[in-house]
């Protein structure tokens, strides 16, 4: 029986979400729309099968086709990321955080030191985050050694050292990173983040890691698609290990990929199973295989180029409206706005934009002094808009709407959050923008 008949309640919720996605502009940089082919593969019978183990070495029978699928995935990934002959792939980690944990389990021991980017400056939770509730962060200290609240398991198991971006330029300060690495002698150095709009010098980072005897892991969760398309530079063959998610710019359904030298991948495979997970989500691997197949086509290169063009164009437009951008702009698919001095902060602005039909997220900014639940920044991205077929002309319109919503919403920031939302909802111009968004979305529906 089809879902509509068997469970109308869930069917209705899914339809509502489908309408929301079709009629709003998703500007969350970690999201994307996947092709119908990817979704068909994810919804396939592969979800029924248990396949603990690796190709030709499974713990259960009946995995002939799972093996065939996973081999195809790995071959396509090798081709897409131009893997050196002595590198290999793991495609079983269930998500980006799990992929990172698998690497740590494979190459570190409890009590070892990991060094990653400070989370408020754009780093990720899974790179060793912890904090203090009773102490304000010290913006003058270029290094952060963690707090008492060990919110991520990585900070419970390992010693963590976090480097910050340069307070003036808000980009990596390689000299400072080298000094920190020299002082703390980490076992693993990590780059990559959720809100870092600039490219990373992977060669420089590898040199630093080598000098201090550390392994170097590049987490390219966000920019994987841009790297695959050759639009951003690649750490493959430079870093010791590369991890990524498949569901952001790579547009291949949910999951993760780990790339490394064959000897390291062997350890990572053991960390994934039996270390951390049970059976892989074969249906997600089917989606990833289809998505990577799409990424190998010339049209994906065009897509990735346009993602960056759109982000750069929108960054320029936002600057014309007086928005201050972290690092002054972007090299990628994401833009981070510093709202300090704008009369409104991330929580209120993100909600006002959502009411107007533009879905973004509040975000911390470098040197953040406010809380992550009500931070000073707003993060925007162009992957989904570009998947819909939007180009510079539409970025201009959307940037104008963002500026207008900001001006309207900041009049109401003295109100509590409930009353603020009511005021924004009832504002005549916000209603007009909302209609404009719906009309724009109709012109650029999500299609296969
Ligand atoms: C840099 C980075 N690493 C890891 C992850 C974790 O990915 P997941 O949400 O799939 O666990 C993210 C997610 O946003 C990320 O940005």
Who contacts 92 (Cβ-Cβ below 8 Å, separation ≥6)? 70, 269, 272, 273, 277, 280, 285
Domain CATH number, residue 200: 3.40.640.10
Give the chain's length. 448
End-to-end alpha-carbon separation of the chain, Å? 25
In angstroms, rounded to a whole number, what is the distance separating the alpha carbons of residues 65 and 49? 10
- Residue with the smallest CA separation from ligand 1 atom 9 is 96
Identify whether the C-beta of residue 382 lies closer than 8 Å to the C-beta of residue 311.
Answer: yes
Identify whether the C-beta of residue 294 lies closer than 8 Å to the C-beta of residue 288.
Answer: no
Residue 175 maps to a domain: yes
Residue 35 maps to a domain: no
Residue 10 maps to a domain: no
Residue identified by tokens 């704008």 is 342
In angstroms, rounded to a whole number, what is the distance separating the alpha carbons of residues 45 and 42? 9
Residue 95 maps to a domain: yes
Quick one: angle between helices 346-356 and 428-443, nearest 10?
60
Average pLDDT of the residues of the chain: 97
Q: Are residues 185 and 58 in the same domain?
A: yes
Confidence of residue 446 (pLDDT cuts 50, 70, 90): confident
- Residue with the smallest CA separation from ligand 1 atom 5 is 96
Has residue 307 got a pLDDT over 90? yes
pTM given for the model: 0.97
Confidence of residue 430 (pLDDT cuts 50, 70, 90): very high
**Predicted local distance difference test score (pLDDT) of residue 410:** 97
Q: Are residues 112 and 151 in the same domain?
A: yes
Pocket test for ligand 1, best of 93, 94, 97, 116 (most atoms within 8 A of CB): 97
Q: Are residues 77 and 173 in the same domain?
A: yes
Q: Are residues 101 and 242 in the same domain?
A: yes
Q: Taking the CA atoms of 22, 438, 391 and 335 in sequence, report the sign of the dihedral they define.
A: negative
Compute CA distances 259 → 48, 56, 130, 369, whole Å.
27, 20, 27, 36
Mean pLDDT computed over 320-332: 98
DSSP string, 124-141: -GGGT--B-SSS---TT-
In terms of Cα–Cα distance, which of 137, 143, 32 is closest to 365?
137
* 247, two tokens: 């569901």
Q: What is the SS3 assignment for 244?
A: strand
Q: What is the SS3 assignment for 79?
A: helix
Task: Phi first, then psi: give them for residue 381, nearest 5 degrees.
Answer: -145, 160
Residue 280 maps to a domain: yes
Residue identified by tokens 């510093």 is 338
Residue 328 maps to a domain: yes
Identify whether the C-beta of residue 163 lies closer than 8 Å to the C-beta of residue 154.
Answer: no
* 316, two tokens: 């320029």
Q: Are residues 287 and 328 in the same domain?
A: no
* 73, two tokens: 């995935």
In angstroms and rounded to an integer, the radius of gyration of the C-alpha atoms of the chain is 22
Identify whether the C-beta of residue 37 lies closer than 8 Å to the C-beta of residue 30.
Answer: no
The number of distinct structural domains making up the chain is 2
Q: Are residues 338 and 433 in the same domain?
A: yes
Who contacts 156 (Cβ-Cβ below 8 Å, separation ≥6)? 150
**Predicted local distance difference test score (pLDDT) of residue 154:** 97
Q: Are residues 121 and 224 in the same domain?
A: yes
Q: Is the peptide bond before 294 cis (omega within 30 degrees of 0)?
A: no
Exposed e or buried b per residue across 225-251, where buried means at least 16 C-beta atoms within 10 angstroms of its C-beta: bbbbbebbbbbbbbbbbbbbbbbbbbb
In angstroms, rounded to a whole number, what is the distance separating the alpha carbons of residues 128 and 90? 22
Q: Are residues 315 and 252 in the same domain?
A: no
**Predicted local distance difference test score (pLDDT) of residue 244:** 98
Digit-coded pLDDT (tens) for 207-248: 999 999 999 999 999 999 999 999 999 999 999 999 999 999
Q: Are residues 251 and 371 in the same domain?
A: no
3-state secondary structure string across 382-393 = CHHHHHCCCCHH
Mean pLDDT computed over 419-441: 98
H or E element at residue 317:
helix 298-320
Q: Are residues 302 and 291 in the same domain?
A: no
Residue 17 maps to a domain: no
**Which range of residues forms the domain containing residue 365?**
298-443
Has residue 193 got a pLDDT over 90? yes
What is the share, in percent, of the chain residues with pLDDT greater than 70? 100
Domain CATH number, residue 412: 3.90.1150.10
Who contacts 6 (Cβ-Cβ below 8 Å, separation ≥6)? none
CA–CA–CA angle 176, 110, 371 (5° rounding): 55
Has residue 448 got a pLDDT over 70? no
- Expressed in angstroms and rounded, the spacing between residue 30 Cα and the centre of ligand 1 is 8
Confidence of residue 447 (pLDDT cuts 50, 70, 90): confident
Q: Are residues 289 and 332 in the same domain?
A: no
Residue 275 maps to a domain: yes
In angstroms, rounded to a whole number, what is the distance separating the alpha carbons of residues 196 and 93? 24
Protein residues whose CB sits closer than 6 Å to any atom of ligand 1 = 30, 95-97, 100, 124, 126, 192-194, 219, 221-222, 245
- Expressed in angstroms and rounded, the spacing between residue 126 Cα and the centre of ligand 1 is 8
- Expressed in angstroms and rounded, the spacing between residue 409 Cα and the centre of ligand 1 is 30
- Residue with the smallest CA separation from ligand 1 atom 7 is 96
Q: Are residues 332 and 275 in the same domain?
A: no
Residue where a domain terminates, one of 295, 327, 353: 295
In angstroms, rounded to a whole number, what is the distance separating the alpha carbons of residues 432 and 217? 47
Residue where a domain terminates, one of 295, 320, 340: 295
Closest ligand 1 atom number to CA of residue 255: 10
Residue where a domain terminates, one of 295, 327, 346: 295
Has residue 136 got a pLDDT over 90? no
Task: Of 49-58, 76-85, 131-140, 302-311, give the lowest mean pLDDT range.
Answer: 131-140
Residue identified by tokens 């009049």 is 411
- Residue with the smallest CA separation from ligand 1 atom 14 is 194
Compute CA distances 135 → 138, 172, 362, whole Å.
9, 25, 22
Residues involved in catalysis: 50, 52, 219, 245, 248, 254
Identify whether the C-beta of residue 162 lies closer than 8 Å to the C-beta of residue 115.
Answer: yes
Beta-carbon count within 10 A of 134 CB:
7
């Amino acid at each position: 029986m089809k879902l509509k008949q068997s469970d109308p309640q869930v069917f209705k919720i899914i339809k509502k979400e489908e309408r929301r996605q079709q009629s709003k502009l998703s500007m969350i940089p970690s999201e994307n729309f996947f092709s119908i082919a990817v979704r068909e593969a994810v919804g396939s019978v592969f979800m029924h099968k248990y396949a603990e183990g690796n190709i030709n070495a499974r713990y259960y029978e009946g995995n002939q086709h799972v093996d065939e699928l996973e081999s195809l995935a790995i071959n396509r990934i090798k081709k897409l990321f131009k893997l050196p002959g002595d590198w290999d792939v793991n495609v079983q980690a269930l998500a980006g955080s799990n992929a990172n944990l698998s690497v740590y389990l494979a190459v570190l021991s409890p009590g070892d030191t990991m060094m990653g980017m400070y989370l408020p400056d754009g780093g990720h939770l899974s790179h060793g985050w912890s904090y203090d509730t009773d102490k304000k962060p010290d913006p003058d200290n270029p290094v952060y050694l963690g707090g008492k609240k060990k919110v991520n398991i990585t900070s419970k198991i390992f010693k963590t050292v976090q480097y910050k971006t340069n307070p003036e330029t808000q980009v990596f300060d390689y000299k400072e990173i080298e000094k920190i690495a020299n002082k703390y002698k980490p076992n693993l150095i990590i780059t990559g983040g959720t809100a870092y709009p600039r490219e990373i010098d992977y060669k420089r980072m590898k040199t630093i890691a080598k000098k201090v005897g550390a392994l170097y892991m590049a987490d390219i969760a966000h920019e994987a698609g841009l790297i695959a398309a050759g639009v951003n530079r690649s750490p493959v063959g430079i870093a010791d290990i590369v991890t990524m998610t498949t569901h952001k710019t790579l547009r291949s359904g949910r999951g993760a990929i780990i790339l490394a030298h064959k000897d390291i991948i062997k350890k990572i495979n053991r960390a994934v199973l039996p270390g951390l997970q049970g059976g892989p989500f074969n249906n997600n691997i089917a989606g990833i295989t289809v998505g990577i197949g799409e990424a190998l086509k010339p049209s994906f290169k065009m897509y990735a180029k346009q993602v960056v063009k759109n982000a750069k164009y929108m960054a320029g437009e936002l600057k014309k409206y007086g928005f201050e951008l972290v690092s002054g702009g972007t090299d990628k698919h994401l833009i981070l706005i510093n709202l300090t001095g704008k009369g409104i902060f991330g929580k209120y602005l993100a909600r006002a934009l959502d009411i107007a039909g533009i879905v973004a997220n509040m975000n911390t900014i470098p040197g953040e002094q406010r809380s992550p639940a009500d931070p000073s920044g707003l993060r925007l991205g162009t992957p989904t808009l570009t998947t819909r077929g939007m180009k510079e002309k539409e970025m201009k319109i959307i940037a104008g709407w963002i500026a207008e919503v900001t001006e309207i919403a900041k009049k109401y920031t003295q109100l509590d959050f409930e009353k603020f939302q009511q005021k924004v909802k009832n504002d005549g111009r916000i209603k007009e923008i909302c209609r404009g968004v719906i009309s724009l979305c109709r012109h650029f529906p999500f299609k296969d």
